[in-house]
Amino acid sequence: EVQLVESGGGLVKPGGSLRLSCTASGFTFTNAWMSWVRQAPGKGLEWVGRIKSRYDGGTTDYAAPVRGRFSLSRDDSKKTMSLQMNSLKTEDTGIYYCVRGEFSGYDWGDYWGHGTLVTVSS
């Protein structure tokens, strides 16, 4: 059974940092490109960024609002993806979902985690 489990959310002051993790199971994590999608309270969905598989270069892409402040990494040995969030702003508040993205033979977004809540507030 495919599972994505996020962790690391919490309350942080503006300007602070937080590190989110996503632990995967039930599929060959090494081959998957992984994304984060966030949702501000009562708002819609916003793609945050993605990291490609190491085979495909392990490169990262980010949405403009987080570029330069957020950084994605992965540890295939632990089947984990991390999102380092720095210089946090109040508008970064929301639920952050880990999403299985491009994965040969499967559909983008076919598996999502339950999400982890990030609250940026003084």
**Least CB distance to other proteins at residue 27 (A):** 15
Sort 10 into a burial class: Cβ within 10 Å, 0-12 / 13-18 / 19+.
Answer: exposed
**Least CB distance to other proteins at residue 91 (A):** 16
Dihedral sign (CA 21, 50, 73, 13): negative
Site mask, other proteins, residues 59-98, x = CB under 8 A?
Answer: --xxxx--------------------------------x-
Compare residues 56 and 107 and give the one whose CB is closer to other proteins: 107
Name which position in 46, 58, 69, 86 contacts other proteins (CB under 8 A): 46
Name which position in 8, 9, 58, 109 contacts other proteins (CB under 8 A): 109
With binding defined as CB under 8 A, does residue 13 bind other proteins? no
Residue 49 and residue 72: Cα distance in Å, rounded?
8
Q: Among the candidate windows 12-20, 23-31, 38-46, 76-84, which touches other proteins by CB under 8 A?
A: 38-46
Residue 89 and residue 6: Cα distance in Å, rounded?
21
CB 46 within 8 A of CB 37: yes
Closest to 83 measured CA to CA, from 17, 3, 28, 33: 17
* Residue 26 per-residue DSSP state: S
Q: Which residues bind other proteins (CB under 8 A)?
A: 35, 37, 44-47, 50, 61-64, 97, 101-102, 107-110, 112-115
